[in-house]
């Protein structure tokens, strides 16, 4: 894993590598994380479609060198070339939400420059030469934007980005041209799903310049009631307008979700209580569980904790469950490859450990 | 409930009223109870089909008077006329397995004479004038037979039963004529169901003079993997032959079930462990549960406890769960009628209480 040449590698299996799982941001019970990315390209290199491997090598070197320890968000600068990583390490980075599938696919020339706890990072030679990415816990759209903007300002002092005075920042794919900005929140909407209000809400969102996607499991079903909401357009508005629009609408969606929870508490408390307790009971006791099933059960537990129907479970632990029970993290923990069934058994064991159900099941369980 | 005229009523809602739930008989983990009944009719009264209400009244009086405190199994004699009971009290008796649906349907002239802890009882004016019934915990076919035979001997000293020197005891329905004996065991066969061996075993049983039926839930599905095995014929063999045949075959079925559990432990331990722990987790946490679902979950817990995969739960408690979570018992406990949903909530609460899950869920559950 160590990028020996640069002597600043990192281990993606360390839990502390990302801050978003801490669950200490605003509205962290409903919003897992906020992400901003700014797409930028170097003026004096061909864009991705037309670039050769030598171009990409040189672009990578120039970008990585432009980040210096002490830059805001980069107390330490750790960079890694994706081509040097094992499959499992690449999967760990994907599971950490630090890199995109596209970056992994273009791994030969791709690199990741990682700032403190993954709050700020650069994806190098993905679709664009560089994508400045911020990833913060909870609902922090403006903070994430300010951090990305600051890094953009720093890099613009050291690199020349392709910019057109009519269009704005030029990008490999025209849909990103202009601001090059994509802002998104990962939001948990179980009550809107249970009250069947979700499609109305999502439809409304897509009529006002935003877009959404669910989190998909092994099949094609949305799992765990998580949705990612992001801006659709990047052109014709200022960055701050785009960011504030997302923040405002997200705030509304949070209110819809909170209202839906109140409706559930008023009209279906029995059913909800039963649902969340069953999920809690299964997670505390199961000896094997698939990722998809677990996601749905954790969604119910997250709802139950938030509605104070269940014993308190820290949002940090709920987020750790989402992160650490993914396949590559389980394999990293086990120190070996795992069959699907073995992963289910390891996952259930870790879930019991994190929920504190392990001891309860064997000591306090019966009579 | 008190049969004031006779001053010896009883309360079917008392747990101590039946011994079969104790779970202290032989093979109690697999066999819930053993039952014997002997059908008898008085010589000098018309049989059921031809009898008037006055005949039945007099027959009842004669039979009830024939049982005396101090007779074996009747330290106390408690008798009750079913016509004097409320719907809920009748349902309690049905749920206790003390009376048959047929006795309840003919309630105007029907009576129950109950011995100590329901081990011995007389059903009066059911299909026959009197049915001597023994009901013991666990696997006790010969003991149950001896107890019934002793009572039969006592009654024959005080009453004249219709008897034909070729056919034997005469009964209202010809299928009971001869010995008038029905012997049965209520047996839990989850491993034979899981290994799909059950139909072969049941088919074998029905080829050697025995018959079986499952325990049906609210729908038409067999629930909880409980089966009642009993003799098919009552004629042409002596009582002791019929009883010993049932005992021998039941012993074999117990061995098949034990073998199937060993196969499961050898070939599918992971799956079984997961299954029984999930059942345990749901029962310990659910806030509402239907009787059918609960029966299936308890079946898994009973299997898991018996295979030592779960913390120990006393067979007594597993049996109490089956008994006390039935509708009439729940209503009796609540002191009022319950809607289906209310019963589900009460049932789940009682299940948590009995499994000790109530406190665990709220005190030791989270962090």
In a domain, B188, yes or no: yes
Rounded mean pLDDT of B301-322?
A: 93
* Residue B49 predicted with pLDDT over 80: no
Q: Do A274 and B348 touch (CB under 8 A)?
A: yes
Residues B224 and B283 in one domain: no
In a domain, B365, yes or no: no
**Contact B342/A at CB under 8 A:** no
In a domain, B304, yes or no: yes
Low-confidence winner among A156-165, B211-220, B317-326 (lowest mean pLDDT): B211-220
Domain stops at, among B226, B259, B292: B259
Task: Quote the CA–CA distance of B332 and B328 in Å, as a whole number.
Answer: 6
Residues B152 and B254 in one domain: yes
Answer whether B246's CB lies under 8 Å from B231's CB.
yes
**What local confidence, expressed as pLDDT, does residue B365 receive?**
34
- pLDDT single digits (tens) B145-204: 999 999 999 999 999 999 998 888 998 888 888 889 999 999 999 999 999 999 999 999
In a domain, B11, yes or no: no
**What local confidence, expressed as pLDDT, does residue B289 receive?**
97
Three-class SS of chain B: CCCCCCCCCCCCCCHHHCCHHHCCCCCCCCEEEEEEEEEECECCCCCHHHCCHHHHHHHHHHHHHHCCECECCCCCCEEEEHHHCCHHHHHHHHHCCCCCHHHHHCCCCCEEEECHHHCEEEEECCCCCEEEEEEEECCCHHHHHHHHHHHHHHHHCCCCECEECCCEECCCCHHHCECCEEEEEEEECHHHHHCCCHHHHHHHHHCCCEEEEEEECCCCCEEEEEEEEEECCCCCCCHHHHHHHHHHHHHHHHHHHHHHHHHHHHHCHHHHHHHHHHHHHHHHHCCCCCHHHHHHHHHHHHHHHHCCCCCCCCHHHHHHHHHHCCHHHHHHHHCCCCCHHHHHHHHHHHHHHHHCHHHHHHHHCCC
How far A362 CA lies from chain B's nearest CA (Å)?
6
Rounded mean pLDDT of B212-232?
A: 81
**What local confidence, expressed as pLDDT, does residue B50 receive?**
80
Q: How many domains does chain B have?
A: 2
**Which of chain A's residues have a Cβ under 8 Å away from the Cβ of B353?**
none
- Which of A308, A365, A367 to mutate to test binding with chain B, by most B CBs within 10 Å of its CB? A365
Answer whether B283's CB lies under 8 Å from B351's CB.
yes
**What local confidence, expressed as pLDDT, does residue B274 receive?**
97
Measured CA to CA in angstroms, residue B172 lies from B64, B175, B181 at distances of 20, 9, 13
- Which of A279, A284, A312 to mutate to test binding with chain B, by most B CBs within 10 Å of its CB? A284
Q: Which of residues 248-287 of B touch A (CB under 8 A)?
A: 270-271, 273-274, 277-278, 280-287
Residues A142 and A168 in one domain: yes
* Residue B297 predicted with pLDDT over 80: yes
Residues B120 and B176 in one domain: yes
**What local confidence, expressed as pLDDT, does residue A161 receive?**
94
DSSP run (H or E) holding A8: none
In a domain, A57, yes or no: yes
Residues A157 and A282 in one domain: no
Q: Which of residues 348-367 of B touch A (CB under 8 A)?
A: 348, 355-356, 360-362, 364-367
**Contact B288/A at CB under 8 A:** yes
Residues A164 and A310 in one domain: no
Question: Strands across the sheet with A78-81, in order?
Answer: A78-81, A111-114, A120-124, A130-137, A31-40, A181-188, A222-231, A210-216
In a domain, B13, yes or no: no
Strands A31-40 and A130-137: antiparallel
* Residue B15 predicted with pLDDT over 80: no
**What local confidence, expressed as pLDDT, does residue B24 receive?**
84
Question: pLDDT above 70 covers what percent of chain B?
Answer: 91
**What local confidence, expressed as pLDDT, does residue B217 receive?**
60
In a domain, B331, yes or no: yes
Domain stops at, among B201, B236, B259: B259
Q: Write down how long chain A is.
A: 367
- pLDDT single digits (tens) A113-129: 999 888 999 999 999 99
Residues B312 and B253 in one domain: no
**Which of chain A's residues have a Cβ under 8 Å away from the Cβ of B339?**
none
Low-confidence winner among A2-16, A209-223, B312-326, B337-351 (lowest mean pLDDT): A2-16
**Which of chain A's residues have a Cβ under 8 Å away from the Cβ of B284?**
281, 285, 365
Residues B215 and B237 in one domain: yes
- pLDDT single digits (tens) A308-358: 999 999 999 999 999 999 999 999 999 999 999 999 999 999 999 999 843
In a domain, A24, yes or no: yes
Domain stops at, among A259, A293, A316: A259
Residues B298 and B156 in one domain: no
Residues B209 and B339 in one domain: no
Q: Which domain holds residue B333?
A: 269-355
State the complex-level ipTM. Answer: 0.85
Residues A314 and A209 in one domain: no
CATH number, domain of A217, equals: 3.30.590.10
Low-confidence ranges of chain A (pLDDT < 50): 1-8, 357-367
Q: Do B367 and A341 touch (CB under 8 A)?
A: no
Mean of the per-residue pLDDT values for chain B? 88
How far A306 CA lies from chain B's nearest CA (Å)?
13
Residues B227 and B280 in one domain: no
């Amino acid at each position: 894993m160590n990028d020996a040449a640069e002597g600043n590698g990192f281990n993606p299996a360390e839990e502390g590598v990302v801050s978003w799982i801490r669950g200490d941001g605003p509205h962290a019970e409903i919003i897992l994380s906020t992400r901003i990315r700014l797409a930028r390209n170097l003026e004096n290199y061909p864009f991705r479609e037309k670039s050769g491997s030598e171009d990409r090598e040189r672009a990578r070197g120039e970008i990585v060198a432009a980040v210096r320890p002490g830059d805001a968000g980069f107390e330490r600068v750790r960079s890694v070339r994706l081509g040097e990583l094992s499959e499992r390490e690449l999967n760990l980075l994907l599971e950490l939400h630090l890199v995109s599938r596209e970056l992994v696919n273009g791994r030969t020339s791709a690199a990741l420059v990682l700032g403190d706890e993954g709050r700020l990072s650069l994806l190098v030679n993905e679709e664009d030469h560089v994508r400045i990415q911020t990833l913060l816990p909870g609902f922090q759209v403006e903070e994430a934007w300010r951090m990305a903007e600051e890094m953009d300002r720093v890099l613009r002092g050291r690199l020349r980005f392709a910019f057109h005075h009519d269009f704005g920042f030029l990008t490999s794919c025209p849909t990103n041209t202009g601001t090059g900005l994509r802002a998104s929140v990962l939001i948990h909407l179980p009550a809107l799903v249970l009250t069947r209000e979700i499609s109305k809400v999502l439809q409304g969102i897509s009529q006002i310049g935003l877009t959404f996607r669910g989190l998909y499991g092994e099949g094609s079903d949305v799992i765990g009631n998580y949705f990612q909401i992001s801006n659709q357009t990047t052109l014709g508005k200022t960055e701050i307008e785009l960011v504030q629009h997302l923040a405002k609408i997200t705030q509304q969606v949070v209110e819809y979700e909170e209202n839906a929870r109140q409706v559930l508490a008023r009209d279906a408390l029995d059913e909800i209580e039963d649902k969340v307790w069953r999920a809690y009971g299964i997670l505390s006791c199961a000896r094997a569980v698939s990722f998809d099933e677990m996601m749905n059960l954790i969604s119910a537990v997250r709802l139950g904790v938030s509605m104070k129907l269940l014993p308190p479970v820290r949002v940090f632990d709920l987020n750790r469950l989402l992160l650490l029970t993914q396949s590559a993290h389980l394999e990293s923990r086990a120190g070996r490859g795992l069959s699907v069934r073995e992963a289910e058994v390891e996952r259930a064991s870790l879930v019991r450990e994190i929920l504190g159900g392990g001891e309860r099941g064997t000591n306090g369980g019966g009579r």
